[in-house]
Amino acid sequence: MNLEQARAFLAREFPQNTSTVEAIGIGKSTLRQAIGFNHLRPGGTVSGPTLMTLADCAAYVAILGQLGEVALAVTTNLNINFLRKPAADKDVIAECTLLKTGKRLVVCEVLVYSEGLDDAVAQVTATYSIPP
């Protein structure tokens, strides 16, 4: 699946998605979430659910890049480590790499960054179940 196909697939299958696919490759993806008032939490930072949603979507898109259209792939586990405070005034970028692709399960790692900063704000591992 190429970039245009991934964007069209998400627009069709997940119109509620607010992130943008910036890059997709075999077992890799990069997504961007523009940050607005609805993504913030007290303390002037991006909310955990926003970071988790972006990471989960990045994992899904990386799987699409590896396996093609598998609309029914589902998250079976997602673990997030919040490493530092994300900037409230910068987009958030998620970079996903598939670590293992099996017949039924795919294990992914996602690093989440505030745009323009070198250090990750979160590290995520996710496992997806692939339908038969």
102-131 per-position pLDDT tens digit: 999 999 999 999 999 999 999 999 999 999
Q: Which residues contact 20 (CB under 8 A, 6 or more apart)?
A: 7, 31, 32, 33, 34
CB distance 3 to 9 below 8 Å: no
Q: Kindly report, residue by residue over 40-93, the tens digit of the pLDDT.
A: 999 999 999 999 999 999 999 999 999 999 999 999 999 999 999 999 999 999
- Find the distance separating the first CA and the last CA of the chain, reported in whole Å: 19
